[in-house]
């Protein structure tokens, strides 16, 4: 590293003639060359960091916005540590900030596997979430068909695609569910149950409606509100605080927060990359402004002569802009392939993933180039206002 640091200036200096060094022009050229090298490094870091930032952001949004088959907006989950804790269900239901309230055992993103069996003893797995009818109304579950009007303690509905694909496990509208022959009460629109980062393709899905929901079943509370969810969470916390329950007994969070917790690692990376990208962009801006100011100052005589001989100030500004954007474009030739490789490798860790679109890299390059051009134009406007005769008098 020390050898390289000393070798680069020596190589640059050896390219100058003796007269350039005596006149002091070498000093100015050195600063311009090193400045452009620094711009290239800053552009490399900025484009690379922004590209990776955009790539991770695109993937996390893809995970959060994939079709789930149920609603997430304005839904709050209230979880109790002990199944014997009193829920104060009816009293909570009467609060003005609650639009709907229901009970559940399993949240959509927490659905595990249950066992189903065929007549010949073959077993399979099915994801089922459990709750009362109000819970599924809050989730916006669409009921398609009703096969049985009999009211059991637990009514099983299968997703439509599951009902059509599960023929070897059912006999008519009966299925061996959890080793008990259970009637299939109907079908619902297809759902995506379980973690949003899990591969659930080919999984059987369904819901189980509890008609007799007692506290001993592990009953949790699901709330739908039309008001600000953060404010409503505060109201619910105050409600249970008044009953003597603290944060160690009752956990309150929105369904959207529950989904985001599954990609917490990605969100932490995004925060770090966001900070690093801002630092890189600020470093680029300061470098461009400082170097372009120096460039305009040391080139006053040359620009004045060009102006006298018919070269317009606009042409000089365009030339200066080109001189500063070229190192950024060159750095992009290295940064974009490197970032593409990093994102491609990172996406391989996800079963559910978006494509590695070229748009994110073009957007990163466009942002950095825009910042560079605007920073140069600030000095360019100042240079255009300089009187050529005054610049020549100084010399």
- Confidence at residue 25, expressed as pLDDT on a 0 to 100 scale: 47
Is the pLDDT assigned to residue 98 strictly greater than 60? yes
- Confidence at residue 309, expressed as pLDDT on a 0 to 100 scale: 47
Mean pLDDT to the nearest integer, 303-325:
62
Which residues are CB-contacts of 251 (< 8 A; sequence separation ≥ 6)? Answer: 78, 79, 80, 81
Distance CA 80, CA 83 (A): 7
Lowest mean pLDDT among 29-33, 177-181, 219-223, 246-250: 29-33
Contact at 8 Å (CB) between 374 and 80? Answer: no
Distance CA 306, CA 313 (A): 9
- Confidence at residue 341, expressed as pLDDT on a 0 to 100 scale: 94
Q: Which residues pair with 157 in a beta bridge?
A: 186, 207
Mean pLDDT, the chain, whole residue set: 81
Mean pLDDT to the nearest integer, 377-390:
59
Mean pLDDT to the nearest integer, 282-308:
65
- The band of 21, judged by pLDDT with boundaries at 50, 70 and 90, is very low
Distance CA 243, CA 87 (A): 10
Which residues are CB-contacts of 50 (< 8 A; sequence separation ≥ 6)? Answer: 277, 363, 364, 367, 368
Largest CA distance in the chain: 102
Contact at 8 Å (CB) between 184 and 147? Answer: yes
- Confidence at residue 296, expressed as pLDDT on a 0 to 100 scale: 60
Is the pLDDT assigned to residue 5 strictly greater than 50? no
pLDDT in tens, 251-270: 999 999 999 998 888 888 88
- What's the 3-state SS for the chain? CHHHHHHHHHHHHHCCCHHHHHHCHHHHHHHHHHHHHHHHHHHHHHHHHHHHHHHHHHHHHHHHHCCCCCCCCCEEEEEECCCCCCCCHHHHHCCCCCCEEEEECCCHHHCCEEEEECCCCCEEEEEEEEECHHHHHHCCCCEEEECCCCCCCEEEEEEHHHHHHCHHHEECCEEEECCEEEEEEEEECCCCCCCCCCCCCCCEEEEEEECCCCHHHCCEEEEECCCCHHHHHHHHHHHHHCCCCCCCCEEEEEHHHHHHHCCHHHHHHHHHHHHHHHHHHHHHHHHHHHHHHHHHHHCHHHHHHHHHCCCCHHHHHHHHHHHHHHHHHHHHHHHHHHHHHHHHHHHCCCCCCCCCCCHHHHHHHHHHHHHHHHHHHHHHHHHHCCCHHHHHHHC
Distance CA 264, CA 258 (A): 10
- Tokens 């059991």 correspond to 152
- Confidence at residue 349, expressed as pLDDT on a 0 to 100 scale: 87
First-to-last alpha carbon distance for the chain, in angstroms, is 40
- The band of 82, judged by pLDDT with boundaries at 50, 70 and 90, is confident
- The band of 189, judged by pLDDT with boundaries at 50, 70 and 90, is very high
Residue 370: both structure tokens together: 């825009």
- Confidence at residue 4, expressed as pLDDT on a 0 to 100 scale: 43
Q: Which residues pair with 114 in a beta bridge?
A: 126
Q: Tell me if the pTM is above 0.95.
A: no
Distance CA 195, CA 262 (A): 7
């Amino acid at each position: 590293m020390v050898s390289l640091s000393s070798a680069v200036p020596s190589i640059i200096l050896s390219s100058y003639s003796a007269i350039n060094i005596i006149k002091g022009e070498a000093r100015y050229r050195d600063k311009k060359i090193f400045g452009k090298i620094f711009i290239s490094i800053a552009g490399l870091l900025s484009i690379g960091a922004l590209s990776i930032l955009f790539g991770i952001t695109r993937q996390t949004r893809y995970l959060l916005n994939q079709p789930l088959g149920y609603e997430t907006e304005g839904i709050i989950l209230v979880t109790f540590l002990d199944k014997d804790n009193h829920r104060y269900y009816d009293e909570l239901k009467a609060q003005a900030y609650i639009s709907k309230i229901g009970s559940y055992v399993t949240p959509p993103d927490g659905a595990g596997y249950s066992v189903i069996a065929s007549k010949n003893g073959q077993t399979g797995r099915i994801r089922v979430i459990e709750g009362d009818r109000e819970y599924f109304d809050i989730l916006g579950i669409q009921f398609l068909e009703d096969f049985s009007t009999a009211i059991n303690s637990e009514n099983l509905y299968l997703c439509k695609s599951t009902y059509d694909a599960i023929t070897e496990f059912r006999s008519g509208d009966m299925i061996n569910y959890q080793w008990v022959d259970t009637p299939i009460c109907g079908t619902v629109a297809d759902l995506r149950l379980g973690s949003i980062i899990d591969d659930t393709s080919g999984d059987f899905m369904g819901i189980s409606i509890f008609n007799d929901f007692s506290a001993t079943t592990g009953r949790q509370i699901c709330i739908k509100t039309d008001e600000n969810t953060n404010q409503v969470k505060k109201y619910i916390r105050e409600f249970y605080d008044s009953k003597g329950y603290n944060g160690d007994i009752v956990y309150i969070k929105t369904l959207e927060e529950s989904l985001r917790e599954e990609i917490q690692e990605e969100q932490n990376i995004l925060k770090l990359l966001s900070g690093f990208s801002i630092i890189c962009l600020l470093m680029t801006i300061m470098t461009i402004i400082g170097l372009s100011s120096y460039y305009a100052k040391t080139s006053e005589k040359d620009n004045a002569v060009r102006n006298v001989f018919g070269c317009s100030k606009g042409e000089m500004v365009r030339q200066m802009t080109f001189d500063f954007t070229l190192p950024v474009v060159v750095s992009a030739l290295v940064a974009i392939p490197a970032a593409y490789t990093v994102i491609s490798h990172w996406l391989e860790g996800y079963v559910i993933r978006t494509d590695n679109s070229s748009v994110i890299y073009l957007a990163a390059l466009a942002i950095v180039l825009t910042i560079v051009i605007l920073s140069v134009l600030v000095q360019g406007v100042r240079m255009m206002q300089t009187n050529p005769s005054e610049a020549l008098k100084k010399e």
